[in-house]
Amino acid sequence: MINYLKSEQYRLLWKKSLHLTSLVCLLLISAAGAVLAYFGKSDPSFPYATSTFYYSNVLGSAGLIILIAFIVNISLTGKDTSVLKNTISFGITRMTVYWSKLILTFGYFLLLSIIGLCLLIGIGETVLPTESGSVRI
């Protein structure tokens, strides 16, 4: 299973859709912080240019997070029916194939989520005015 997991990882890393999805997600997080910071500096009475509002909006959009997980899953298991037939014909069981795809999908989604969360906290603490207790490290 380890060898098949490595081959799936190699195949996934060469797909453009995973890199494009990751880039779009991280750019959306950055754009939200940049827009709030811009409007906070251009209009001093703008009440939403705080890190707490930024965190609640980005982390509160569960639908977007589920959509990203779905896109990552599709990029891994999308059009691989011919690869699946070849894999099974070489003696790898379906259980191994599906478990390795599940582990790989979860691993990459978790990695993307951690990078996005670090970017979110970094932008929120450096660019936007912070209130006491918004993030405790």
Is residue 63 included in any domain, yes or no? yes
Q: What is the pLDDT along the chain (137 residues), one digit of tens a residue?
A: 777 778 778 877 887 877 888 888 899 889 999 999 999 999 988 888 888 889 888 888 777 777 877 777 776 666 665 666 666 667 778 788 788 888 888 888 889 889 999 999 999 989 988 776 666 66
Range of the domain at 26: 18-126
Token pair recorded at residue 101 = 């795809």
- Quote the CA–CA distance of 9 and 106 in Å, as a whole number: 12
Is residue 26 included in any domain, yes or no? yes
Task: Name the domain count of the chain.
Answer: 1
Helix 62-77 and helix 16-42, axial crossing angle in degrees, nearest 10: 160
Q: What is the pTM of this model?
A: 0.80
